[in-house]
Structure formats: C-alpha cells, structure tokens
Amino acid sequence: MLALAVTGVFSLYLFLRRGYFDLFILNKALASASLVLLGVVLLIGPISRFYNRFDKWLIYRREIGIFAFLLALAHGIISYSGKTNQALALGIISLIILAFLFLTSYKFVENRTNRRLWVEFQSWGIRISSLLVFLHLIMLKYVGWAKWLTEGGAQNLAKPDFPPASLLGGLFIGFVAITRLAEIFGTKIARKIFEISFVILILILFFLFVK
C-alpha cells in the first residue's frame, strides 16, 4: 500500500507538472518512488529509537525494501538502452546489491544463515545501495536542478514553477542521511537534529514551491 501510494503521488505530481502521462513519466515516478522507499527503510530504525510509537513499523522494513527493489528493477528495465556511463553504472551496481538483498530476504535463507552475518549484510547492503542510488541521482540530475533553480522550468511544462520530482526525492534522502549520521552523537542529540532537520526540510520545500 505504501509503495502504491508513493508511486501514485509521484505519478500525479509529474502529470500535473508535465501536462501529460506516458511510459517516460511513469518511469520517472518509479525512480522517485523507489528512492523514497529506500529512504523510509533507512529512516524507520532511527525514528523507532526516537519515538516508541513507531516501533510497530520495524516489522515492515523487509517488505518496504522488497518493493523498493521491485520499483527500481522496473525503472532499470524501462531505462536500459544498452549504453552506459558512470552514473548509470552506479545505478546498476545499486540494483545488483538490492537484488542480493531481495534474494536473501526470504525466511528459509535467513534461517540457514548466521543471524549476525545476515543482519549485517542486510543493514550495510541497504545503506551502500542507497548511497549509490543517491550518487546516481546527483550525477544525472544536478545540472537540471541548478538550471531550474536559476532559470525556472522549461516553458513547455504545464507547471514550470513546480520543482522537479527528482529534487524532492533527493531532498528526502538527504534528510534521511542527516538523520542516520546524527546517531553518531547519541540518541538524545540525534533526536534534536532529526527534529530540526525535518523543520528545515519543510521550509525548503515551501520555498521551492513559492519562489
């Protein structure tokens, strides 16, 4: 349901921004939704440590991660043209890591693997994969983001003032990264950093839509 909702929101947003909807737009929605789901997987742990009411979300990390992989796989299949570059290579490596995480996420594999080793593999795998996806996104989109921020959107867009969907996803994953890094300073300080960075994220999003 979460994967469907996130993909639906990005699809609607891109439709409103572009003024049309086709496979190209769906592919963009799949990419952004996959990025957000990866961010959610990484965010559930810290949030559950900050606020007890989110403990129940811990049991869904596996399923959310699986759907993040499936959306990323669909995006990769639609996007692949036989050509590659550094940015696309990072995306492919990330997808391969997610595939291994997906294949080892089944209970029969977990039950036949050293528990500590399995947890470490899953934990570091999702972190490395998310980092590679973020770098993949930055390398592909930062020029377009800078152009939109300085010149605005292309006039052939239905809503050129709407920020790129990839920028919204990138800001979210950046917020997640700050939250994870903040845990170095301990739970109490990390919680404050999380709350402050969340407010900053909302303010940045507000600025992007009203600038």
Weakest-pLDDT range from 14-18, 21-25, 110-114: 110-114
Domain encompassing residue 139: 2-210
In this prediction, residue 87 has a pLDDT band, given cuts at 50, 70 and 90, of confident
**What tens digit of pLDDT does each residue of 104-146 get?**
877 777 777 777 887 787 888 888 888 888 888 998 888 989 9
With 90 as the cut, is the pLDDT of residue 70 above it?
Answer: yes
Query: In the predicted model, what is the mean pLDDT of residues 55-74?
Result: 89
With 90 as the cut, is the pLDDT of residue 11 above it?
Answer: yes
Count the domains in the chain: 1
Query: In the predicted model, what is the mean pLDDT of residues 185-199?
Result: 93
With 90 as the cut, is the pLDDT of residue 84 above it?
Answer: no
- Long-range (24+ apart) CB contacts under 8 A made by 184-187 are 187/49, 187/50
Count helices and strands in the chain by DSSP H and E runs: 8, 0
CA dihedral 105, 107, 109, 111 (to 10 degrees): 130
Q: What percent of the chain has pLDDT over 90?
A: 46
Which tokens hold the place of 194? 């999380």
Which pLDDT score, from 0 to 100, does residue 129 have?
A: 87
With 80 as the cut, is the pLDDT of residue 26 above it?
Answer: yes
Cα–Cα dist 97/76, whole Å: 13
Cα–Cα dist 123/135, whole Å: 19
Cα–Cα dist 97/185, whole Å: 29
Cα–Cα dist 41/39, whole Å: 5
Which pLDDT score, from 0 to 100, does residue 202 have?
A: 96
* 0.75 exceeded by pTM: yes
- Long-range (24+ apart) CB contacts under 8 A made by 45-49 are 46/179, 46/180, 46/182, 46/183, 46/190, 46/194, 47/194, 49/183, 49/187
Which pLDDT score, from 0 to 100, does residue 55 have?
A: 84
With 90 as the cut, is the pLDDT of residue 176 above it?
Answer: yes
In this prediction, residue 33 has a pLDDT band, given cuts at 50, 70 and 90, of very high
Rg of the chain on CA atoms, in Å:
18
**What tens digit of pLDDT does each residue of 34-54 get?**
999 999 999 998 999 998 888
